[in-house]
Amino acid sequence: MGELIDPEAAYVYAIPMRNRFRGITVREGMVFEGALGWGEFCAFPEYGDREAAGWLATAVEQVTVGWPEPVRDRIAVNCTVPAVDSERAYALVAKSGCRTAKVKVADHPGSLGEDLERVAAVRDALGPEGAIRVDANALWDVDTAVDHLTRIDRAAGGLEYAEQPCRTIEELAEVRRRVDVRIAADESIRRAEDPLRVAVAGAADIAVLKCTPLGGVRRAMRVAAAAGLRCVVSSALETSVGLAAQLALAGALPDLEFACGLGTVTLFDGDTVTDSLRPVDGYLPVPRTPPTPDPELLQRFRHPDPERARWWRERLARVQRLLPVD
């Protein structure tokens, strides 16, 4: 495609995280304005240009054609519990207003004891009726996953599901056969050349959809329909500008049984917009149009390193050339 987005007109941001999450303490990305409002490009820096193209395609959809009509006007969300101590985990859940918690586990090789304490504290905070899901970010081998999930499930008083305990589809399928816990696939869908292999292989009970890396709301809806699995929509750690697309996906899916992982702006120590998409009483509204960044916030969180900002602009220019021509 031609240069739809001027890299020099985009804002490169760097927003601190409240706690280390997914191995990072500062979230970087870009926001830019198009015909229908603002979009966000924030593919993780370690991703290559071809993988990053899906992230940019989602932003282009947002600013050029918009989103499908929603079938619901609000989304139940889970609170997200990073790899923090049990006291902090309890406090995060207790003040969230959410009835579902997603708990990070497997933060380091010897983390099981900490994981058990964290999950038990979350159960105390939620009470017996709340739902707990865990996310290992594909860091376990099969035997470790089977052992740890069995023990974590017991500490949790029952898990709703475990997200991406292992890396490969084959490993997920084996874990699923050996544990009495539902398995959700995340990385195996969003980073796969063929996202539907997960369902075909019998590797998961639940598909975690992130429209940002999948290339947009419409493409994510096609993946959901073809996979035939129950779905959860989850954030890719965007600011409110990019998170709006995830909410648009959750709003447009025909069936949505589970709370979604979209309360992640609370993980940031700042945002690009004034009226952040933060849950109220465990829910987020489905937006009809993208939120508009606040100029003062764009200046406050402008990336302080000119060389790094240049890297992002050059990346945007390269990735844009990989998008298909209409």
Binding site for Mg(2+), residues?
135, 163, 186
Q: DSSP for 171-194?
A: HHHHHHHH-SS-EEESHHHHT-SS
**102 belongs to the catalytic site:** no
Exactly one of 102, 210, 303, 315 is catalytic; name it: 210
Residue with tokens 């696939």: 185
CA dihedral of residues 242, 96, 286, 185 (deg, nearest 10): 60
Active site residue 210: yes
Burial 84-100 (b: 16+ CB within 10 A, else e): bebeebbebbeebebbb
- Of the candidates 244, 309, 276, which has an alpha carbon nearest to the alpha carbon of residue 36? 244
Residues within the annotated binding site? 135, 163, 186
The strands making up 79-81's β-sheet, listed across from edge to edge, are 79-81, 100-104, 131-135, 161-163, 183-185, 206-209, 230-233
What φ, ψ does residue 231 adopt, rounded to 5°?
A: -120, 150
> Which of 104, 148, 176, 315 is the catalytic position?
104
Which residues have a catalytic role annotated?
104, 210
